Chain A
Amino acid sequence: MTELAAVRREQLKPPVVDIGVIGWLHKNLFNTWYNSILTVCMVVVLGLLLPPLFKWAFVDSVWYSSAEACHDIDGACWSVIPHNIRFIIFGFFPEGQEWRPALAMFLLLALVVYSRKRSRWQSSLGCLWAVSLTVMGVLMYGGIFGMPVVETSQWSGLPLTLMLSFFGMVAAYPLGIMLAIGRRSRLPAIKSLCIVYIEMIRGVPLISLLFMSSIMFPLFLPEGISINKVLRAQVAIILFTAAYIAEVVRGGLQAMPRGQYEAAESLGLTYNQTLRLIILPQALKIVIPPTVGILLSAFKDTSLVVIIALYDVLKTTKVTLSNPKWTGCSTEAYIFLALLYFVFCYAMSSYSRRLEKELDTSY
C-alpha cells in the first residue's frame, strides 16, 4: 500500500509550464499585467541606454593615446589612467621607491585573504600578523637596509587609503565592543562615561573630528611636541567608527535572551567568561550585517582626510585631473576610482555573507 503510494508520487512531475525557461520568465517577469509592463519598459530603457554607453566606453575609446589625441575622439579617454597610474596609486612616494608601498599593500591584502578561513585563526596567525605589520611599517618608513627614509607626509594614494581604513576598522571594532559592554555596565561611572563618549562622537561629523585633530589638538600640546598628522587622522577615524560600532553591538547584546546569561552563570562561569564565551560570540554574529555596513562606510569615509591635506587615492586622482592636459577626462578617472572602491567593498560584503553562513547553527 505505502509502496504503491510512493511509486505513484514519484511519477507525478510538476507541470511543464512551471519549470524551464518559459516557466522562469512567466514567474519572474510576466506574472502580472503590471509586471509585464514594467518588464517591457525596462527592456526599452536598457535598449536605449546600453548601446551608446558601450560605444562610448569600448568602441570609440582610446586606451594608451597621448592627452592630445583624446581631444579628437568622441569616446572615453581611458589613457588618463595608464599615464597617471603611478601618481594615482602612490602619490608623493619618492620615485624609484614605489616597490616598497606596493609590496606592503600586497603583504596586507595577502594576509587578509589568508586570514579569511576561521580554522586558521590561531595564535600562530597572530604572530604572523605582528611580524608582517612590522615589515610593512619598515617598508613604508625605511631608514634601514639601505632604504631611504620616507616621512609620513609623503605617504599618499592607495597605501594611505588602505592603511587608514584597515587600522581604522581593526582598532575600532574591539574598542566599539568595549564601549558597548561599558554602556551596559552596572557601575554608573563607567556607564555614563561610555554614554557621553558615544553620544558626543555620534553627534559630530567626521570632518569636524578630523579638523579638531589636525588644527585644534596641536594648540593644546606644549611647544616643541608634535604628533604625526597621519596618526592624528588615524586616531580620529578609529574614535569615530568605534562609537557607531558600539551602538550596533549594543543592539546585539540586547537581543540576547536572559536565559543565556542564566545558563552560563548557573554553570559557575564568571561574568567575563560568560561574555567572552557565550554572549559575545552570539551577539556579534547577529549584528554582522549592520557592522559590515559601518565598516564599509568607514572605508569610504577615509577619503574625507583630504580636508586636512592628506593625499588619499581620491585626492591624488583629483590632483591628476587638475593638470590641464587631463581636465576633460574626469569621468573616466572617477569611473576607475569607483571600480577600485567597489572591488574592496564588494569583497568585504561577500566575505561577511560567507561568514554569516558559516556561523549559522540553525537556531
Chain B
Amino acid sequence: MNEREVETGVVKSGDPIIEIHGMHKWYGDFHVLSDINLEVQPREKIVICGPSGSGKSTLIRCINRLEEHQRGQIIVNGTELTNDIKNIEKVRAEVGMVFQHFNLFPHLTILENLTLGPIWVRKKSKKEAEATAMMYLEKVDIAEQAKKFPGQLSGGQQQRVAIARSLCMYPEVMLFDEPTSALDPEMIKEVLDVMIGLAEEGMTMLVVTHEMGFAKSVADRVMFMDDGEIVEQNRPDLFFDNPQHERTKLFLSQIL
C-alpha cells in the first residue's frame, strides 16, 4: 500500500489478492449481481454497505463459491473459481468466512470447532491444531470456554469463536457477512473490537455491515451497492462527507 489514488480511493499496489471481472449472477430470472468489477489488494479492508436485497451478501458469498456466478471471472489468490471442486476447496481453505448467525457446530466443543478445519483440511496433528486453537481463543479472549459447547455461550462469545475458527485456517482473506446484525446491542462492541484488532494486524478483510462507525475508522475503502451493482466506492472520509451519487446520498441519509 504505497500510494493512494484520491479520485477513486482505490489502493494501488502489486498483484491483487482478489480479482473480479465482469461478473454476473442470476437467481432464476432475477439479476442479483450485474457487471461486478473489483480488485482487492493484500491487507486492504473493504466495507460493503447498501440496502437489503442489494446483493452485498451474495457478492462476498461468490468469493468462496457458496454461491455460483454465471458470467465473468473470479480469481482468488491466483486460483480461478470454476466448477473444479478441487479449486473451490483450495480457495475455501484460504478464505475465512464469518456468518451472521455464527454457524458454529453445536455438537462439538469450542475447541473441536476450531481444530476441525486444521485437522481434516490442513492435515495438522491434533496436538498442533489444539495449540493453534488455544492461541486464537486467547486472542479473542475466550480461552476459558474451550471445553464448553456453543449452546452454552452468549451470541457475542459465539461470534468471537466463529472468528477464531476461521483464523485457525491461517486465511489470506476474511469475509464477514453482517457479523453483528444478529447480536444484542451490548455484544456488538466485543465482536467489533476483535475485528479491529484483526484489521490492525493487516488481515485482508471484506466486511458487509451496517456499522458505519467501524467503516469510518477501519476501512480503506467503502463500497455502496444497490440493485446488484457497485454504485460508488471511495475512501471512507470522502465517501461519507462527499457522496457522489443520489442513491448513495439517499441511503446515507436514511442510516446516519
Residues of A whose CB lies within 8 Å of any CB of B are 257, 259-260, 262-270, 273, 277-278, 281-282, 285, 359, 361-363
> What per-residue 1/0 map shows which CB atoms of B141-152 lie under 8 Å from chain A?
000000001111
Q: Residue B95 at the A interface, CB < 8 A?
A: yes
Instruction: Using CB atoms, name the residue of chain A closest to B112.
Output: A277
Smallest Cβ-Cβ distance to A264: which chain B residue = B105
User: Is A278's CB under 8 angstroms from B105's CB?
Assistant: yes
Of B90, B95, B117, B152, which is in contact with the most chain A CB atoms at under 10 Å from its CB? B117
- Of the candidates A268, A277, A361, which one forms a contact with B106 in the assembled complex, judged by CB atoms under 8 Å apart? A361
Stretch from B48-56, B96-104, B210-218 forming part of the interface with A: B96-104
In contact, B107 and A282 (Cβ under 8 angstroms): yes
| A268-B169, A277-B120 given; A260·B101 CB < 8 A | no
Shortest Cβ distance from residue A259 to the other chain B in the assembled complex, whole angstroms: 4
Closest partner residue, chain B, to A273 (CB atom): B120
* B92 close to A (CB within 8 Å): yes
For B219, the chain A residues whose CB sits under 8 A away are: none
Q: Decide yes or no whether B18 CB sits under 8 A from chain A.
A: no
Q: Are A265 and B92 in contact, CB atoms less than 8 angstroms apart? A: yes
For the complex formed, measure the closest distance between the CB of A279 and the CB atoms of chain B, giving whole angstroms: 10
A285 to B103, CA, bound (A): 18
Say yes or no for B193: interface residue by CB 8 A criterion: no
Distance between Cα atoms of A263 and B106 in the complex (Å)? 12
* Cα distance, A267 to B101, chains bound together (Å): 16
Tell me the complex Cα distance, A363–B85, Å.
32
Nearest CB in chain B to that of A270: its residue: B89
A268 contacts B90, C-beta separation under 8 Å: yes
Given contacts A262-B66, A266-B92, contact A281 B101 (CB under 8 A): no
On chain B, the residues within 8 Å of A262 by CB distance are: 66, 97, 99, 103
Please name all residues of chain B whose beta carbon is closer than 8 Å to the beta carbon of A361 when the two chains form the complex.
Answer: 106-107, 149-151
Is B135 interfacial (CB-CB < 8 Å)? no
Which secondary structure characterizes the binding site on chain A? Answer: helix
Contact B106 A282 (CB under 8 A): yes
Asked if B64 is an interface residue, CB under 8 A from chain A, the answer is: yes
Query: What residues on B are CB-neighbors of A268 within 8 Å?
Result: 89-90, 92-93, 117, 121, 169
Which residues on A sit within 8 Å (CB–CB) of B101?
259
Q: What are 21 A-B pairs with beta-carbon distances under 8 A?
A: A257-B103, A260-B105, A262-B66, A263-B103, A263-B105, A265-B66, A266-B64, A266-B96, A267-B117, A267-B169, A268-B90, A268-B93, A268-B121, A270-B85, A270-B89, A277-B120, A282-B105, A359-B107, A361-B149, A361-B150, A362-B152
* A363→B92 contact, CB < 8 A: no
The distance in angstroms between the C-alpha atoms of A361 and B64, with both chains bound, is 30
The CA-CA distance from A185 to B119 in the complex, in Å, is 27
Pairwise interchain contact B103-A269, C-beta atoms closer than 8 A: no
Contact B106–A363 (Cβ < 8 Å): yes
B 62-91 binary contact with A (CB < 8 Å = 1; else 0): 001010000000000000000001000110
Q: Is the CB of B116 within 8 A of A267?
A: yes
List of A residues within 8 angstroms of B93 by Cβ:
267-268
B residues sitting closer than 8 Å to A (CB atoms) are 64, 66, 85, 89-90, 92-93, 95-97, 99, 101, 103-107, 116-117, 120-121, 149-152, 165-166, 169
The answer to whether A259 and B99 have CB atoms under 8 Å apart is yes
Given A262-B99, A268-B169, A359-B107, 5 more A-B residue pairs with CB atoms under 8 Å apart are: A265-B66, A266-B64, A267-B93, A285-B107, A363-B150
Task: Report A278 CB to chain B, min CB distance, Å.
Answer: 6
Shortest B152–chain A CB gap in Å is 6
- In the complex, A259→B105 CA distance in Å? 10
Q: Which residue of A lies closest to B162 (CB)?
A: A263
Bound-state Cα–Cα, A317 to B198, Å? 74
Which 9 A/B pairs are nearest by Cβ-Cβ distance?
A268-B93, A263-B103, A363-B106, A363-B151, A267-B117, A361-B149, A266-B97, A259-B103, A362-B151
What residues of A have a CB within 8 angstroms of the CB of B105 in the complex?
260, 263-264, 278, 282
A84→B1 CA distance, assembly (Å): 91
Contacts of B89 in A (CB 8 A): 268-270
Are B92 and A263 within 8 A (Cβ)?
no
Per the bound structure, the CA–CA distance linking A257 and B101 in Å amounts to 11
Q: Which residue of B lies closest to A276 (CB)?
A: B120
What's the nearest-Cβ distance from chain B to residue A42, in Å?
Answer: 41
On chain B, the residues within 8 Å of A363 by CB distance are 106-107, 149-151
Query: In angstroms, how far is the closest chain A Cβ from the Cβ of B173?
Result: 12
* Most chain A beta-carbon contacts within 10 A, residue among B90, B107, B149: B107
**Minimum CB–CB distance for A92 against chain B, Å:** 48
A269 CA / B116 CA spacing, docked (Å): 9
Which B residues lie within 8 Å of A285 (CB)? 107
Which of A259, A268, A273, A363 has the most chain B CB within a 10 Å cutoff? Answer: A268
Cβ-defined contact, A266 with B90, below 8 A: no
**What residue in chain B is nearest A262 (Cβ atoms)?**
B66
CA distance A257 to B106 in the complex (A): 12
- Minimum distance in angstroms from B174 CB to a CB of chain A: 11
